[in-house]
Structure 1
Amino acid sequence: MSTESTNGKDPLRPGMMSNDLIQTLIDNYRKGHVRAINSTLGIEDAHSIWFDLPKLKKFIATIEDEAKNANPDTTEEDLGIRFYYAAYPKAENWDIMDSHPVAKEYAEKHTIVMVPTLKKQDETGQTLHFDFNPVDANDANSMALNARKANLSIIAENSGSLIPPGVSIVESFD
Structure 2
Amino acid sequence: MDTAAPQHTGRITYRDAVLDDVPALVPLVQSAYRGDSSKVGWTTEAHLLQGQRTDAASVEAVVTAPGSRLMVVERDGGIIACCQLEHRGEAAYFGMFAVRPELQGAGLGRQILAEAERRVLELWDVREMHMVVISVREELIAWYERRGYRRTGRMSPFPYGDERFGVPQRDDLQFELLVKELG
TM-score bucket of the superposed structures, by smaller chain: under 0.3
- Structure of greater relative contact order (alpha carbons < 8 Å, 6+ residues apart): 1
Q: State the TM-score, normalized to the length of structure 2.
A: 0.26
As a proportion of its length, which structure holds more strand?
2
- TM-score with structure 1 setting the length: 0.26
